[in-house]
Amino acid sequence: APEALPGEVVRIEITVDSICLAWPTVDGLEYLVEGRRQLTDLAWTVVSEPRRGDGSEMSLCLNGATDFRYFRVIQGVSLPPAAPPSVAVPNVHLSLDAAFQLCLTWDALLGAEYFVEGKERLADPAWTVISPIIEAVGLQASYCQGLETNWRYLQVRRVNSAAEPSPVIESLEWSATGPVVRWSGLVGARYQLFYSDTLPAVWVPVGDAMTSLTGEFQFVDTGALTGGSPGIRFYRVQRLP
């Protein structure tokens, strides 16, 4: 079964630019690193992909600006972490901004967390985390770095989270006060409703995230949060991490 390595066998070296962990491995066992931002965080977050040990020392370096400050190494992982980052982040674009920085921009899930990895050479065997955790506050997220950087190959990954069922809009009806949107989800989970009055859709969040004690959700669009109805309106629901 997976278990955390004793703290005394994990070496941590901190510099201005990086936080590096090193630990001994057992040939054939998989290892990954988890982190916490605060010691009081209730859960650990996976900050690396599983890597197979070969009996020699293994290491992982994070950018010194990372939000994570507490780490542990898990030995004996049998399966990759669920969900991304093993799945590519869609629509990543590279551009040059007015300050002559290289900027990555990508489609994001509101509230989800992302990080950027880099390689100096394409032949390098492993990617290095080069950004802090980036929380998406909209439907796009971005990360920029100066042209003097040594990182020449970049990719965006989403912080691991458990597999989550998608919400289902079960009905859209009309009432005397406006459209009524009903959907089902998980008890206690957070869902965000969006609307668009155009196609192609430009999704706008409606109010705050919603939770339910029954798993059933309802929103009556009186126009107070959406500026009134133009006659045609589209809705979507997204579960927040």
Question: Which of 34, 98, 83 minimizes the C-alpha distance to 60?
Answer: 34
Summarised one tens digit per residue, pLDDT across range 155-169 is 998 876 555 667 888
Instruction: Return d(Cα 172, Cα 166) in angstroms, integer.
Output: 17
Is 47 in contact with 62 (CB distance < 8 Å)?
yes
Task: Pick out the chain residues at pLDDT < 50.
Answer: 79-86
Summarised one tens digit per residue, pLDDT across range 86-104 is 456 878 999 888 888 889 9
Question: Which of 100, 98, 93, 99 minimizes the C-alpha distance to 156?
Answer: 93
Q: What pLDDT shows up at residue 181?
A: 93
Structure tokens at 210: 């919603």
Instruction: Return d(Cα 105, Cα 99) in angstroms, integer.
Output: 16
- The DSSP bridge partners found for residue 121 are none
CA distances from 195 to 116, 137, 203, 218, 225 (A): 30, 17, 5, 14, 10
On the question of a cis peptide bond just before residue 84, with omega within 30 degrees of 0, the verdict is no
CA distances from 162 to 6, 82, 105, 169, 220 (A): 26, 6, 24, 22, 31
Q: How many CB atoms lie within 10 A of CB 118?
A: 19
CA distances from 208 to 100, 108, 170, 179, 192 (A): 36, 18, 21, 18, 7
Percent of the chain with pLDDT over 70: 92
